[in-house]
Amino acid sequence: MRDLTILLALLAAPALAADKDAGAAALLAQTAGRWQGELQYRDYQSNTWQGLPMTVTIVAQPDQVTTIRTAQYDDGPKTGIVTITTVNAVDPAAATVRYASFRRSRATDVGVEKIVKVEPGADVSHWTIVTTETRTDGDQIAEVRETTTRDGDAMTTLKEVNPVDDGQDVWLPRNRSVLRRVGA
């Protein structure tokens, strides 16, 4: 659920800038704002995507490498509204994104993702970027890959997992967020 983590990785990709003067602050300004859409998860029994309405607010920080992302979705009558706040910081020299994610009644989730691919598009609001990380997913260690595609005011992040100890190299879809910008 660290969609913004991928966005921050853009800071490590000056090739996305239209010219040398377009820096990290401009990129963050392009992604900061209010987004709305769905948090979707794969129902393995029906083999279909199921969705929960979600809102996301992204705030770029003055240091030009840090953002704060707050996502909210309704997880039903038992759990209610879930709020996840994630602080992300890009290290362009190391091509990594460090994050800390906070959610009520859960331990703080911290980690470092490696930026493995940046595919620039026509401008700074059109791109695809991929990060990977080895971490616990559910009750097992897995490689986790997040692919974020930005297409103007639309942004989709697909999270896939590849369990380390299963002896296979198969990426399984875990969840995805499908968002549209709704405000600055």
pTM above threshold 0.75: yes
Write down the pLDDT at residue 21. Answer: 22
Q: What is the pLDDT of residues 45-63, one digit of tens each?
A: 898 999 999 999 999 888 8
Q: What is the rounded CA–CA span in Å between residue 53 and residue 2? A: 16
In the chain, the domains with their CATH numbers are 3-183 (2.40.128.20)
H/E segment holding residue 111: strand 109-120
pLDDT digits (tens, 9 = 90+) for 15-40: 443 332 223 234 544 778 999 999 99
Q: How many CA atoms lie within 13 A of 22 on its CB side?
A: 16
Q: Where are the beta strands (DSSP E) in 16-108?
A: 33-43, 48-60, 66-74, 81-91, 96-103
